[in-house]
Amino acid sequence: MAAVGAARGAPAASEVLNLFRSFLKETRKFADYNIREYIKRRTGESFRESRDLDAAAAASAFEFGKKQLEVVRRQSVVYSLYAPRVKNIMELKFQES
């Protein structure tokens, strides 16, 4: 039902939010701070750009999003092979004096 709905009309809000959540969960797997923050930012921007699409455009954007999620999944594997040895300075927590 959900799959048919996505192919024909606009996806339900809950489906979109679940897709967004899946992106963020996948994003956590990237060890490199820069890559991780980039994907997070890019995900948010893309979802917000698609806010006011009509039904047909929203459906194709949703399908595109699902494909992009697979891309992120594959990339998380690739990047895990080249994980940085040291943390980015942005990740370090300094003691406030």
CA distance 8 to 18: 19
Closer Cβ to other proteins, 14 or 85, answer by number? 14
Q: Which H, E and C letters describe 6-37, residue by residue? A: HHHCCCCHHHHHHHHHHHHHHHCCCCCHHHHH
Closer Cβ to other proteins, 24 or 71, answer by number? 24
Q: Does 18 bind other proteins (CB under 8 A)?
A: yes
DSSP string of 72-95, one letter each residue: HHHHHHHHHTT--SS--GGGPPPP
Q: Does 71 bind other proteins (CB under 8 A)?
A: no
- Could you tell me the smallest distance in angstroms from the CB atom of residue 25 to other proteins? 8
- Could you tell me the smallest distance in angstroms from the CB atom of residue 24 to other proteins? 5
Q: Tell me the two tokens of residue 87.
A: 């943390």
Query: What residue has token string 């806010």?
Result: 51
Closer Cβ to other proteins, 48 or 85, answer by number? 48
In the complex, which residues of this chain contact other proteins (CB under 8 A)? 13-14, 17-18, 20-21, 24-25, 44, 47-48
